[in-house]
Amino acid sequence: MRELLPLSLLGGILGLDVVCFPQMMISRPLVGATVAGAFVGDTITGLLVGVTLELIALATLPFGASRYPEWGSAAVVGGAIAAALRTQAAGSITVGVLATLATAWVGGWTLVKLRQWNAWLAGRKRGALEAGARGAVVGLQLGGLTSDLLRAMALTALAYGLLFPVSNAAVHLWTFSQPLSRAVTVGAASAVAAAAAWTIFHSARGARWYFAGGLVIGLLILAFR
């Protein structure tokens, strides 16, 4: 558990990126899980978890006030768990994806709470904000940023601390083979990606034919290599 503090820092930074700063999308699971995997010593395992999650994340777009999974901190937790359990390869990817999804769900809830917390802070400063007090505006912004960083750090530390022992026990009792485990996990993720592609793009004229054309190209590449 020596990695807990640095991982929580990484989770804090990536969690902050989801909404508050700088929204460069380094919080996407493709990035977060890969970096976390590299951090723990197995970049490839982190990448495999990240790719699987990225397929799922295509369905969750961060529109305005909607509630969505918080992928930044969660991807760090899942990528790090999978990479740390790489010696038990059969279930490590599946367990990493599962840990990320569970953390992302809770993370989405913490984002809602953060927004309520920010509203409470703004309410307390309402008089000063309406008077145009520079300190109140800057203070509220910095307070929100700091709260989000601390939220994401705490979430990462708590989720990793709780889920790593459970995941460790699970992969040691794992009975399915590695190829089957990966096929089931990425198959489920691919279903979400395909449904998301349809949902997001079908309103563009001809998009279904572009998708079908792409699919043919993808399958041909697979067939001929």
Partner 1 sequence: MTAAARSYPAPDPTPRVSALTWLSVFVRTLAIQGSWNYETLLGNGVGFALEPVLRQLPGGIHTDAFKSAMARESAYFNAHPYLASVAVGALARAELSGVPPERIERFRTAICGPLGSVGDRLVWAGWLPLSSLVALVAFGLGAQPLAVVLTFILMYNVGHFGLRIWGLYVGWTRGLAVASALGNPVLRNGPAYIARAAAAVAGIAIPLAAARVVGSDGLLLDGALASAALIAVGLVRVHGRVEGWKLVLVLIAVFALVSVIR
Residues 169-198 that bind partner 1 (CB under 8 A): 170, 173-176, 178-198
Cβ 34 vs Cβ 26: under 8 Å: no
5 binds partner 1 (CB under 8 A): no
218 — phi, psi (to 5°)? -60, -45
75 binds partner 1 (CB under 8 A): no
Q: Which stretch binds partner 1 (CB under 8 A): 2-10, 28-36, 80-88, 154-162?
A: 28-36
Name which position in 7, 36, 59, 155 contacts partner 1 (CB under 8 A): 59
222 binds partner 1 (CB under 8 A): yes
How many CB atoms lie under 10 A from the CB of residue 88?
17
Footprint on residues 137-156 left by partner 1 (CB under 8 A): 137-138, 140-145, 148
41 binds partner 1 (CB under 8 A): no
C-alpha–C-alpha distance, residues 143 and 125, integer Å:
12
The site for partner 1, by CB under 8 A, has a size of 113
Give helix then strand counts, H and E, for the chain: 9, 0
Instruction: Give the pair of three-digit tokens for residue 189.
Output: 């993720």
